[in-house]
Amino acid sequence: MSSPSVESHLPLSQAQFHVLAALAEGELHGYAIMQLVEEGSGGVVRMGPATLYGTLKRLVDAGLAEESDRRPVDDDQRRRYYRLTGLGQRVCMAEADRLEALVRRTRRNLRPGMA
Amino acid sequence: MAASRIYRGALRCYPASFRRRYGDDLVAAFEELCADRGVRVAWWRTVLDLIVTVPAYRLESIMSEHRATLTLSAVTVTLALAGVATLAVGAWPISVVLIAVALVILVSQRSALARSLRPGGPNRRRRHLLVGAVVAVAVFACLVAAYLSDIGDERVGNGALMVYNVVGLLSLLSAVVLTVVGLRTHDQTSPATPG
């Protein structure tokens, strides 16, 4: 059962869910998120830079993601890294559960014998 | 790199606040995209991105920034005053349209402000639909009042009657549809019904 503050963020837009799912893999910079989103969607979702940073802005403003202070020593120090907040993790999980239930129900309805 | 200079120039299309916060990151991501996929692929993806995001972020900025809020307030007051002025000289159809537009801007602006101050509740969609229905009923009521006042007046032409009919029909239909959809939207504060 999700808390009301988690519920109020649902449903996430496709871009928001993809970015949160990418950040679930760890702290990432912008371009790495773009790459992971493309890989994770099998090449179907290809974000441009402004879509990515617009989405990140919304997630940061909503408290679902935050800038991280840590970055690899050998990396460009101007690069900004992002990570999920505790609320972001709960919202991402709740959205995954919601989509999973929807997928299960759709499969059951379309292929009744194979549920 | 010429491509990144051009892209940095194109970023001027975005609202200043977005540019200030993410301008360097956007250019860095674009340069990495160019290095990784080639300039042609990077431009293809980025031009589509610009086409989709510039109007969206501009609109978002207009609805949220303080300066834009003041401008919208000034526009709303001007429209309302113009509506009252045209009402005074007897141009009912024009005044109804002006007041209706002012009302719609006012409600949209207040809603945007309320959204920015308050976390969204579970019944947000239901509430928006019902507020929309109330606005549509208010517009319809204004029209009926104007129509009743004008009926029998020989100076009122066919064009004005056409405006009454079209706007009245649309507002009435909107009120009915928004009310029905709003009431049918599940109230998430009430206990769930079994089954």
pLDDT of B91 reads 77
Q: Across the interface, which of B21, B36, B46 has its CB nearest the CB of A49? A: B46
DSSP state for residue B120 in the 8-state scheme: P
Place of tokens 């990151």: B25
d(CA B140, CA B43): 49
Query: Nearest Cα to A106, choosing from A23, A114, B16?
Result: A114
pLDDT of A93 reads 95
pLDDT of A70 reads 75
Name A42's Cβ contacts closer than 8 Å, sequence gap at least 6.
none
**Percent above pLDDT 90 for chain A:** 65
Residue-wise pLDDT tens digits, B121-179: 556 777 778 888 888 888 888 778 777 777 667 766 777 777 778 888 888 888 888 88
Q: Across the interface, which of B36, B49, B120 has its CB nearest the CB of A48? A: B49
Decide if pLDDT at B193 tops 60: no
Question: Across-strand partners of A83?
Answer: A66
Chain A residues with CB inside 8 Å of B29's CB? 30-31, 34, 49, 52-53
Taking an 8 Å cut-off on Cβ atoms, the answer to whether B122 and A7 are in contact is yes
Q: Nearest C-alpha of chain A: how many angstroms from B22?
A: 7
Taking an 8 Å cut-off on Cβ atoms, the answer to whether A50 and B53 are in contact is yes
Residue-wise pLDDT tens digits, A33-52: 999 999 988 888 999 999 99
What is the pTM for the complete model shown? 0.58
Chain B residues with CB inside 8 Å of A58's CB? none
B47 neighbors A48 (Cβ within 8 angstroms) = no
A74 neighbors A55 (Cβ within 8 angstroms) = no
